[in-house]
Amino acid sequence: GAVVSQHPSWVICKSGTSVKIECRSLDFQATTMFWYRQFPKQSLMLMATSNEGSKATYEQGVEKDKFLINHASLTLSTLTVTSAHPEDSSFYICSATMEGQGAFFGQGTRLTVV
Amino acid sequence: SQKIEQNSEALNIQEGKTATLTCNYTNYSPAYLQWYRQDPGRGPVFLLLIRENEKEKRKERLKVTFDTTLKQSLFHITASQPADSATYLCAPRSGGYNKLIFGAGTRLAVHP
């Protein structure tokens, strides 16, 4: 099946710094990618829809200036958590879809802000 | 607003039995519905997709039904094994590249 690679798999950063997470579709072109956040024992919460070559569409309550999304090519989307704080610590997951098929997820990134 | 409901309580069953998980949705007219498996600390893995004009879909020990009148999908695992223990998520979806939203998931525990 299709492969989506997410990097890094885990990161620890200091409060106030920024962290960039990459999501790549390795063997297919993804016009659309999705970014999710998941807190322990909770469901996946959609943060934003990333569209290649255009601005991302953010879900209600998600700060677009804090969670910067760039989808510069058909195989790469990035999520940058700016000025991270401890409450941003979470599991971030990206996915890419192929029309009529299921979504393919990255491995996820465990972010810990200290 | 669109709503997806899955049993929030864990489902505990004995090995060899059939597990049945439920997904109900409201304010949706999905063109298809997807089921995923998620293990702790991992991203979800796609299992099955069923279209609105399909009543039932099978893949090995998995079976999915889709009732657009009841706005419900059932996910069955026959001859369940401890390795099937995981959280199972459903995601009804409209056609095109609309956003992909998941239910909260149901945790399945299969005991030897």
Across B1-112, where does the E strand assignment appear?
3-6, 11-14, 19-26, 32-38, 45-51, 56-59, 62-67, 72-77, 86-93, 106-111
A29 touches chain B (CB under 8 A): no
* β-bridge mates for residue B20, sequence order: B76
Mutate to test the interface with B, among A7, A25, A44 (most CBs of B within 10 A): A44
pLDDT of res. B73: 96
Size of interface A-B (CB pairs under 8 A): 62
Lowest-pLDDT choice from A77-86, B68-77, B93-102: B93-102
> Percentage of residues in chain A with pLDDT exceeding 90?
71
What is the rounded average pLDDT for all residues in chain A? Answer: 91
A49 touches chain B (CB under 8 A): yes
DSSP states of A37-106: EE-TTS--EEEEEEETTS--EEPTT--TTTEEEEEEETTEEEEEE-S--GGG-EEEEEEEE-TTS-EEE-
A50, A34, A51: which is closest to A105 by C-alpha? Answer: A34
Question: What pLDDT, in 10s, does the model give residues B65-77?
Answer: 999 999 999 999 9
Mutate to test the interface with A, among B37, B46, B50 (most CBs of A within 10 A): B46
* Among A46, A91, A103, beta carbon nearest to B46: A103
Arithmetic mean of pLDDT, A106-112: 96
Integer Cα distance of A27 and A4 in angstroms: 8
Cβ contacts of residue A107 below 8 Å, gap of 6+? A5, A6, A9, B42, B43
Please report residues of B whose CB lies closer than 8 A to that of A43.
Answer: 89, 102-105
Phi and psi based region of residue A14 (left: phi greater than 0; alpha: psi -120 to 50; beta: remaining):
beta
Phi then psi dihedrals of residue B21, to 5 deg:
-115, 145
Whether B89 has a pLDDT exceeding 70, the answer reads: yes
Integer Cα distance of B29 and B39 in angstroms: 29
Arithmetic mean of pLDDT, A5-15: 96
